[in-house]
Structure 1
Amino acid sequence: MAAIRAKVTHRHRGDLAKHIAKITKGLEGPRKVKVGFPAGKADKDVVSIAIWNHFGTSRGIPPRPFVTIAMFKARAEVRMNLRKIAEATVVQGIPVSRQLPKLGAYGAGKIQDQIASNTPPPNAPSTIRQKGSSGTLIDTGRMRQSVTWALDAGTSVPSAGSKK
């Protein structure tokens, strides 16, 4: 997970404690989003197919790490979006959890684009004959259509009044 470092300068006029409370409130709830095939969001057989294609198998499927490649290619945009989320939370008090769906949809779209991009290595001639196409990672399109996102509820910050 990438860490974001920020230098904070307080320019807000008024009560600093109220401003800090607004920021703290903006950090309540989920603070992470998972993209790809989050638990409970895709059929188990689709998740298995994605794993086999991403990591490869001992039975002849070469690794095509499409999730890793997609996130690596999008890393600058993801960092920029994370900075915007942090700024909107600090400056405007917009809750992080309200901003994460847009980031999740963006990440899922990047993974779908990578699946559609014919990730190397090329298919074996026998696979091309069986599928009727040379495109990698896509046979019926079901795996690509199953890519989604979900808020990670396990990363919430307790509210000020709750006990942990």
Structure 2
Amino acid sequence: MSQYSRRTLVRGAAWSIPVIAVAVNAPAFAASHDAPSPGSLVMDCRTNGQGGGNCQGYRLVVNFNVQGTTSWNIRITTAQITSSAGVTESINLPTAFPYVVSPTSQAMNLWFCSASSPSGLTLNISYSAWRVGSNESTAVVQSFPQAVYAGGSIPVC
């Protein structure tokens, strides 16, 4: 039967303590979540009359990547739509701001109006996000990559 020296036991214990400490801290680190990152922008459909007058209405579905179980407030800070004719259009934002996204509800709809059926649309959208229950001053600002859509390829609602 072999005997272990005191030095061997101390050296073994010294190596096992950091491993235990890392294992204990890992779940706390894994539970932290970043603000929702840009998902996809989907030009869902077009409809006549959205906004009235000489207007082609469009519904844009804005998708976010939401991690974990945290709900987040979202406020669109920039929503610039430029038509193929070089005209910058407006977006009609949802009336209830901030909009809340969560792991089970990761999308929001935006409606906007463009001069009748342009051949193409370019979208630039930025937003701020902060945890539900936190102060808006803690918000993180992010932007979607610029998206370009061919006007004729968007289906009717």
From the CA coordinates, give the structure whose radius of gyration is larger. Answer: 2
Q: TM-score, normalised by structure 2?
A: 0.30
